[in-house]
Structure 1
């Protein structure tokens, strides 16, 4: 608030001055609000784009899944009966193997670790031999 000076004394601003200050403050606040709204809109824009891309990816994945099911049915319909019987038994065996692997997960993890260790040890031995022969 500015005060007017008259004859060395300070007095309160006149109503006209107050109106001018209020109008100026409103203009400034309007500018600030517009800047903040633009900033918020810019911050939200990537989120909207991400949601659109995610939705599009879900639609494409659904179409691919539907196409795969359709092609699988076509192949199954055109496959001769003896081959289908053999595939059914192979599917059953694969299902049993998967069940066995799930129930014996710790054992299979240990076997996988041992195989990985053996392969790495073999690789390092070969590398060491190659360095020694040079």
Structure 2
């Protein structure tokens, strides 16, 4: 049911209007979704973080690959007698270290060894600065006691 207007065009029917309204709703829905994606800072940050993480992983792989290649090249350039001498020196150093540690453990009292293990554990967990501060306090206290005793 279309009615004629004065300029000769026909007025849109109810179905035409409904179709236009539906098209406008779909377009508006797409626009709203696009705006929502732009406004979702958390999702954008997550996507960016993932992209940076992927890029860092690729860069790490490349650096490690180049490092391995460089080590191989240096190793290939070092003459066999020098490599053998270095391996012998490394083995000797490891043996001497093990022997010395065993001797020190024999003569060190158990409480001191336990304290050393605790300190080593703290150092492995990244508590070095805290230990350094504690050592300064202990040394200062010992120096103070030594001065009082004299």
**TM range, normalised to the smaller chain?**
0.3 to 0.5
Greater RCO, CA 8 A, separation 6+: 1
Task: Give the TM-score normalised by the residue count of structure 1.
Answer: 0.48
Give the TM-score taking structure 2 as reference length: 0.44
